[in-house]
Amino acid sequence: MKYFSNFPKLITSDGKGNVNLSTNLLARVNLVPSLLKNPALYYKYTMQDGDTPEIIGSKYYDNPYRYWIFLYGNNVMDPQWDLALSNLNFDAYLQNKYYDAANSNNQTVIAYTKSTVKYYKKVVHTYDSGTQTETTMKYNVDAQTYANLPVNLVTTKYFDEFSYVTVTETREAQDIYDYELQTNEAKREVNIVNRLYAGPMEERLKSLLST
């Protein structure tokens, strides 16, 4: 978009030597200082496979060039890596990132990522009957510690006949594939700025850039 032709650029990398040049939309101007702090101005949206900032701009603001409103509302500086990848791009990302390791183990990328552990975790789940609250904490551990952890250990401490705390200790191993998929899916829920603010934001941007 012409507004951003003179904005500074960001250079990002995928960790394999491939770089991406993005426009830093958050630099130089502060459109609406309260916007990013006011959840009442947003709709929550789960990105669908194939969604792009331009498609969302068309869908919600009737103009693909208003993609920047979506990026600004989500504090996104690098659309390629800060948003959820499509299924096709996710597969390509795995191939690019893990091909060498998989090949050295004589495996396909899918087989390698699903059979190689990324993290070992100790999981502690606590239930407090007094407050009727549950909490789950996960701690990274090494492979040896993981092997010595209980598969399922439940202990209960009673304070009186009506009040007790139950602690359940388990373990889990997360493979590379599930880690990468979970990381990608966590980026799928985004904010959509209410379309009522699209016009005022655009006028505000023009005003700031003309000064």
What is the tens place of the pLDDT at every residue in 94-130?
999 999 999 999 999 999 999 999 999 999 999 999 8
Tokens linked to 90: 């996710």
Measure the CA–CA gap between 32 and 201, rounded to whole angstroms.
8
Q: Dig out the tokens for 134 from the structure.
A: 């549950």
CA distance 138 to 172: 9
Query: pLDDT of 46-92, one tens digit each?
Result: 999 989 999 999 999 999 988 988 988 888 888 888 999 999 999 99
Taking alpha carbons only, the member of 110, 117, 114 closest to residue 95 is 110
**Position 177, amino acid:** Y
Instruction: Kindly report whether the global pTM for this prediction surpasses the value 0.75.
Output: no
Amino acid code (one letter) for 156: T
What is the four-CA torsion angle of 68, 73, 77, 82, rounded to 10 degrees?
A: -110
**Best CA proximity match to 172, nearest among 102, 125, 112:** 125
List Cβ neighbours of 141 (8 Å cut-off, separation of 6 or more).
120, 121, 122, 149, 171
Task: Name residue, tokens 């101005």.
Answer: 41
Distance separating alpha carbons of residues 191 and 34, to the nearest angstrom: 15
- The 10s digit of each residue's pLDDT in 175-193 is 999 999 999 999 999 999 8
135 within 8 A of 125, measured Cβ to Cβ: yes
